[in-house]
């Protein structure tokens, strides 16, 4: 999928994440986000397409429970269960989206996007070296403007790949 990165309204985004209610709890509650973008849901974990993808196939994975610290708020078993979901989702993304490698990391902040979430990020093959790693993740360098239909199709393909594991 050859999509250009376009500038995003970073100031508006920062205002929303720092003042609005938890966007992941909203998705779990079936709230503000498009339910068609959910790719995995086992009743304890949820995975969904990033709303601000810097690469095609960018997925976030979260526990249902609103926890904020990736290790100190999770028991070892709960942490490993979350990692098992991250693994399955990443395998499905790799099956659907060509990638040079897959980045997996937990970011977020106590000041915004506090609910624990893992980023699963398929680096497009041939990405110039200077645009890999953190450059590839930063919305400051633009985000992909996927149409609703493009997002739905991508989510459906990832769901299908997860179903056939």
Measured from the CB atom, the residue of 34 and 68 that comes closer to Zn ion is 68
R_g (Cα) of the chain, nearest Å: 15
CB of 68 to Zn ion, least distance (A): 8
Complex with Zn ion: residue 38 or 136, whichever CB lies closer:
38
Backbone angles phi, psi at 71, to 5 degrees: -110, -45
State in angstroms the smallest separation of the CB of 22 from Zn ion: 3
Question: Euclidean distance between the first and final Cα of the chain, in Å?
Answer: 23
CB atoms within 10 A of CB 66: 14
Which residue number, 110 or 164, has a Cβ lying nearer to Zn ion? 110
- Positions touching Zn ion (CB under 5 A) are 22, 24-25, 66, 115
Q: Which is nearer to Zn ion, 2 or 72 (CB)?
A: 72
Q: Residue 91 Cβ, how far from Zn ion at the closest point, in Å? A: 26
Q: Cα(10)–Cα(87) distance, rounded to whole angstroms?
A: 30
In the three-class reduction of DSSP (H, G, I as helix; E, B as strand; rest coil), residue 12 is classed as: helix
Closest distance between Zn ion and the C-beta of residue 12, in Å? 21
What is the spatial distance between Cα 22 and Cα 112, in angstroms, rounded to a whole number? 8
């Amino acid at each position: 999928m050859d999509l250009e990165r376009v500038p995003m309204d970073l100031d508006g985004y920062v205002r929303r994440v720092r003042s609005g209610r938890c966007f992941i709890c909203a998705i779990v509650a079936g709230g503000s986000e498009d339910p068609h973008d959910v790719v995995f849901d086992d009743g304890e974990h949820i995975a969904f397409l990033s709303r601000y993808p810097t690469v095609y196939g960018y997925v976030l994975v979260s526990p249902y429970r609103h926890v904020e610290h990736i290790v100190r708020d999770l028991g070892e078993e709960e942490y490993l269960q979350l990692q098992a979901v991250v693994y399955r989702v990443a395998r499905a993304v790799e099956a659907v989206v060509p990638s040079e490698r897959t980045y997996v990391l937990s970011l977020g902040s106590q000041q915004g996007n506090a609910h624990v979430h893992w980023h699963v990020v398929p680096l497009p093959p041939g990405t110039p070296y200077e645009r890999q790693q953190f450059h590839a993740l930063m919305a400051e360098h633009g985000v992909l403007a996927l149409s609703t239909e493009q997002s739905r199709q991508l989510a459906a393909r990832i769901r299908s790949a997860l179903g056939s594991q």
